[in-house]
Each structure stands twice: as structure tokens, then as C-alpha cells.
Amino acid sequence: MKMATLSRPYEKLGGLESTGGSAAPSPIARTRGWLAAWLPAIPLLLLVATCLIAPVVMLVWQSVTGMGETGLSLDLWFRVLGQHANQDAILTSLVLAAACATVTLVLGAPLAWMISRMLRGKRAFWLGLLNVSANFGGIGLAFAYMATIGTVGMLTLIVQGLGIGFEAPREGSMPALLMAYEYTNVPLFVLLTIPAMSILRDDWWEAAQVSSATRLVFWRRIGVPILSPFLLAGWLLIFTWTLGIYGIAYGLAGQSGATAVHLITLQIGSALQSDVLLGPGRAAILAVVLMLFASTSLVLYRLLLRRATRWL
Amino acid sequence: MAVEAGSSAVTKSRAAASVRSSDRKSVGRVGRAVFFGFALFYFCVPMAAVLIYSFATRWTANVLPDGYTLDWWRATLADPRIQSAFFTSISLASLTAILDIAVVVPAAYWSRVRNARIRPVVEVAAAVPFALPYVVIAFGLMQFSGVVAPQFQGTFPLLVAGHSAIAFPFVYWAVDGAMAAAGIERLTETAEACGASPYQALMRVVLPNISAGLVTGGLLSFAASFGEFAMAQIIGRSLDTVPLWSAEMIRSYTDTAGSYNRLAVVTLLTFAVLFVLSALVVYWNRGQTVRLLPGAGASDQGGRQ
């Protein structure tokens, strides 16, 4: 907002140049004015238009025209969404993302709070560690998971070595994916929400104590209501990102072959590589479905944050 | 008398309360220690497992490997295919970072000093890779390039363009934040009052003042491209980047040729690259406050700081 007012004097530079006081600018002058206003941004806008906007529009278009074969119809949608495997994938993805985001919230919120109240050196150590973990993802993380609690992973061998009958969850199963995802989700969540933790001022806890409030009452009446929009926003972000995770799932699901869980992202990948039935059409529909989920939750995220920052 | 009795009652109850709260405090302290111990364990053990794996001879039956060797490291570092995968990934990531800085800086600069209408357009665009999974963008790009420019399909330039498109928000947020912090509107006015052209003002006044943002943005986009797997797999299948090599290894099922041990080495190397990058980002931004959740009116927050 501040920026807009600052740059207003320049905003109509092109216009001023071209009108020169008269009412009707010539088309050439108008083009020149437009160029003066937009030229430096054109390379970026071109990149964005060709590599982000056009592909997304193209997918939506292909999904409602049956990959350009049927004309405008939802026929492909019905065929793809009617397949059991696809319904299964959509449901599993949503459940996994919601479960992951919830576990992240439960573990991450107290962690973020405690780290935000640490002394400087200790906090730097934890932030460093979280930064490192947040960077660990994709195939590397899938492999690290296998080496840790896979069928012959380190922890599995240790626990079995202690004489406990322990069966590691299959690599491509839900619990395995959840554990592997949390490795990056929790740090991401903490790093995202730590700044919000400073909103809760220490004097408020003192003020609450003076009014003889217990810690529980403080959290229920003051802490949680103030922080909850930020925490929920974090939940939504993790939910959105978890829906779209591909690398970790690809690495882990490969270990379990056909018994691995069905996820939207995995289905898109495999539909591209080998699908005799619907091929790219199936991938397009699933991609648009994923797009709808992601954009809905991003809109909710924006609304939540607008609400949250109103009190700052 | 009455006052005294009252005050002693207060002290007594206060003492009782402090005993209770110190009890609760020590319980809290133990709980906290257990919680952080668990977190430390959770974050460190997988890395330790990969590290041990990279030195292990055979590790399928006992708690610790049967023996240790440096062979995997030697073989992996000497493997021409891995060398070329690293070369491809590093050049891909460098070109991505360079292209992103080259297109983002002029746009961000112009939106601040001349045309404020650029900002909302760029911010909406920046939300796209932030929200949409890379798999979706990659698949769309594959379909789109198949129609518009089939000769580019599966090529290195297309992957550079795709990675630049998904990594540009990192550069934009870093550069725009640095511009806000440096107050480049005023710097530009001053430069122009002294007779500098917009180009001179950008090169000689603005860029030196936003170097931290440039470095941060460049490092972040480099990291995003270096570790990116989904798009590389979908639109660059003929290429051999580090994540693509790792994916092939992890899917090789059997551990006969020591492929998992070599994968452990490559995982550690990849990890080291990303770690150094993030350490550099932290180093370049030391002393600066982190902004609230991304997209939370980054410009407003930046202006306020």
C-alpha cells in the first residue's frame, strides 16, 4: 500500500509524455507510454505466461474438451472420476494430507512456541537444525527413511536386536509416508510460525497471572485465540504442500510395488509413463483436481491471514 | 492485628502456591526435555543412518554394519555417470538462478519506481508455483510445449525455463524485500536528480544496495532447481540430473551392486550442497527479521520493518 502511494507520481509518466496537455494522445505515443511503463517487466511476464499460466490454462482446457477430441464436454471427467483407482487416489491423498497437517500442527505448534522463547544461542541451534531438516526432501529423504525404519533400516535392526518382535510398516504404506513427510513438514511449520509467536507478548502472561489465571486459562482465553489464525494458516499450507509431494512418495512407493498407496501425484506420474487406457487424459483430470484443491486452500489461507494480521 | 493475620495468611497461601508451581515447573521441565530429546533424535537419526550406510560393507542383519569401507565414496566420486549428473544439475541450477535474477530484478525495480500496476500481476504469478504442485505445472508445461514447440520437449533449455518459472518467487520475494529495506525509491529519485538514466540508476545505485537480496534469491533458486525432481522427471526425461539418478537407484530394488551405498553417498553430497546453500542464505541475512507467513502481504510487512 505504501509503495503504491510512493510511486504514484511516476505512474502516469507515459501518459504525461504522450498527451502533452491535449486530450487525445496519438496511438504511437500511447504505445510508447505503455512500453515505458511495462517494458522492464516483459521478460518476467513472458516467462510466467509461457511456463506457468499457459500450461495451467491448457490443462483445464484439455480436461473439459476430452484432450481436444470431444469438443466441450465433461465426458472425460466422468470417465476418469468413475474409475475406482482414481477415486481411491483422491481420497487417500486428502486423508494423508489432512493427517499429516494435523500431526504437524500438534507437534509443531508447541515446538515453535518453546523455540521462540529460548535464549539466543539455543534458539540458533534449533533453528539451524530445523533449517537443515526442512531442506532434506525428495528421493534423498525417501532413502533416509528406508535406511532408518525400512525393512532393514537401522532402527528396525536395533529394535529387533533387542529381541522385540517389530515389523516396520511397509515403505509405501500410509504410516510410512506420514512419518517420512513429517520429517520436512514439522520444521517447515515451525519456521513459518515462529515469527507469529512473537505476537503473544510476555506481559500478557504476567497480566493474566496478576488476575490469578492459571496457565491453562491463559492458553484457552488468550494464547490460542490469538495464535489460532496463524496456526490454522500453517495447517492449510502444510495440507496444500503435502497434497503435492511427489519425490518422497515416488521413492517410497517404488519399494512396495503394486501394494503401495494410491496418491494423486503418483497417479499423474504413472499415467504419463504407462497408461494404455486413458493416458494423458487421466493425468490431466487428476492434475486439474489437484489444482482445484490447492487453489481452494490457498484462498482460504489468504483469508485467514488477512483476518489474523488485522490485529497486528 | 487483623491486618497482620491477613497478611500472614496471604504469605502462607503464596508459599503453598510457589511450592505447587515449582513442582509443576519441574514436571514441565522434564516434559520439555523429553520432547526436545525426541525431536533431536527424530531429526538426527535418519542423517546418521545415511552416513553409516555410505561407509557400510553389508548391513542387513545386525544392529551395526558388518564392516566399514571407503570404497563406496571412492567408486561414487569416480563414477563418470555421477560426475556428469552433478555437472548437469549444477549447470541447470546456475542457469536457473541467473535467468531468474535477470528477469526478476528489472520487473521488481520498475514496479517500485515507475509502474505500481506491475506488482499485483507479479504477486498473483508468484502464488502459482507456491500453491500448485510442481507435478501439475510440469505436466501442463509438457502438454503446452508439445503443442507450441515440440522440438523443445525433453530438452535442457525447456527444463531451465520450467525451473526458472517455479523458482522465480524466491528471487522476487528476496529482491523485493531488499529493495524495500534499502528504500530504493528515494535512492532512484536522488540518482535521477543527479542526472542518472534509469539504467545507470539501476546498475550503479540500486544493485549495490540490494546485493544481499540478490545473493539470497540466487541461492534459493539454485537450491530449488538443484533438488527438484518432479519437473525434471516429467519434462526432462532424457537428461540425467542428480535427483533423476537417485530415483533410478532407489527403484533398483536389489542392493546387489551396492547401489544403495552409492545412493547414500550421493544423498549426502546433495544434502551437503543444500546445507551449504541454506547456511549461506542465513549468513547473508543475519540480523534481519524474518517476515510472517509467505504471502501475508509481504510488501506491507517489508514496509513496516
Residues A156, A245 share a domain = yes
Q: Do A55 and B40 touch (CB under 8 A)?
A: no
Domain annotation covers residue A71: no
Candidate from A153, A195, A251 with C-beta closest to B290: A195
Residues A303, A250 share a domain = yes
Residues A157, A21 share a domain = no
Inform me whether the C-beta atom of residue A183 falls under 8 Å from chain B C-beta atoms: yes
Inform me whether the C-beta atom of residue A2 falls under 8 Å from chain B C-beta atoms: yes
Which H or E run includes B71? Answer: helix B71-78
Residues A164, A55 share a domain = no
- What's the confidence (pLDDT) of residue B21? 56
Which H or E run includes A177? Answer: helix A174-197
Residues A171, A44 share a domain = no
Q: Which amino acid appears at position A306 of this protein?
A: R
A36 — phi, psi (to 5°)?
A: -60, -30
Residues 216-255 of B with CB under 8 A from A: 223, 227, 229-230, 233-234, 243, 246-247, 250-251, 253
Identify the CATH number of the domain defined by range B79-304: 1.10.3720.10
B56 — phi, psi (to 5°)?
A: -85, 145
Nearest in space to A194 (alpha carbons), one of A224, A222, A234: A234
Query: How many angstroms separate the CA atoms of B188 and B209, rounded?
Result: 11
- What's the confidence (pLDDT) of residue A274? 65
Instruction: Report which DSSP code applies to A258.
Output: G
- What's the confidence (pLDDT) of residue B33? 86
Q: Contact, A234 vs A108, CB < 8 A?
A: yes
- Which of A42, A64, A86 is a domain's end point? A64
Closest approach of A202 to chain B, Cα-based (Å)? 17
Residues 75-94 of B with CB under 8 A from A: none
Beta-ladder partners of B286: none
With a CB cutoff of 8 Å and minimum separation 6, the contacts of A221 are: A208, A213
Residues A80, A176 share a domain = yes
From B188, which residue of chain A is nearest by alpha-carbon distance? A7
Which residue segment(s) compose the domain that A40 sits in? 2-64
Domain annotation covers residue A91: yes
Query: How many angstroms separate the CA atoms of B6 and B60, rounded?
Result: 72
Each residue's pLDDT, cut to its tens digit, for chain A (312 residues) gives: 334 444 444 444 444 444 444 556 788 888 888 888 888 899 999 999 999 999 999 999 888 887 767 777 778 888 888 888 889 899 999 999 999 999 999 999 999 998 988 888 888 888 888 887 887 878 889 989 888 888 778 888 888 878 777 777 888 888 899 999 999 999 999 988 888 888 888 888 888 888 888 888 888 888 888 888 889 999 999 999 999 999 999 988 877 666 778 899 988 888 777 655 557 788 888 999 999 999 899 889 888 888 777 766
Backbone torsion region of residue B154, taken as left when φ is above 0, otherwise alpha when ψ lies between -120 and 50, otherwise beta: left
- What's the confidence (pLDDT) of residue A276? 52
Query: How many angstroms separate the CA atoms of B113 and A119, rounded?
Result: 41
From chain A, pick out residues whose CB is under 8 angstroms from the CB of B162: 51
With a CB cutoff of 8 Å and minimum separation 6, the contacts of A149 are: A155, A156, A168, A169, A176, A179
Inform me whether the C-beta atom of residue A25 falls under 8 Å from chain B C-beta atoms: no
Mapping DSSP to helix (H, G, I), strand (E, B) and coil, where does residue A181 land? helix
The count of structural domains within chain A is 2
Domain annotation covers residue A70: no
B68 — phi, psi (to 5°)?
A: -120, 150
Instruction: Report which DSSP code applies to B305.
Output: -
From chain B, pick out residues whose CB is under 8 angstroms from the CB of A133: 43
From chain B, pick out residues whose CB is under 8 angstroms from the CB of A68: none
Q: Contact, B232 vs B244, CB < 8 A?
A: yes
A229 — phi, psi (to 5°)?
A: -60, -40
With a CB cutoff of 8 Å and minimum separation 6, the contacts of A46 are: none
- What's the confidence (pLDDT) of residue B257? 66
List the grid coordinates of A176. 510410512
Residues A159, A32 share a domain = no
Q: Contact, B297 vs B177, CB < 8 A?
A: no
pLDDT under 70 in chain B at which residues?
1-25, 60-63, 253-257, 286-305
Inform me whether the C-beta atom of residue B149 falls under 8 Å from chain A C-beta atoms: no
Query: How many angstroms separate the CA atoms of A232 and B282, rounded?
Result: 27
Candidate from B132, B233, B270 with C-beta closest to A291: B132
What distances in angstroms separate CA B266 from CA A144, B22, B75, B86, B270, one per listed residue?
12, 50, 11, 10, 6
Q: Where in chain B is the domain with CATH 1.10.3720.10?
A: 79-304
Q: Do A192 and B162 touch (CB under 8 A)?
A: no
Domain annotation covers residue A236: yes
Output the domain CATH number for residue A264. Answer: 1.10.3720.10
From chain A, pick out residues whose CB is under 8 angstroms from the CB of B206: none
Inform me whether the C-beta atom of residue B111 falls under 8 Å from chain A C-beta atoms: yes
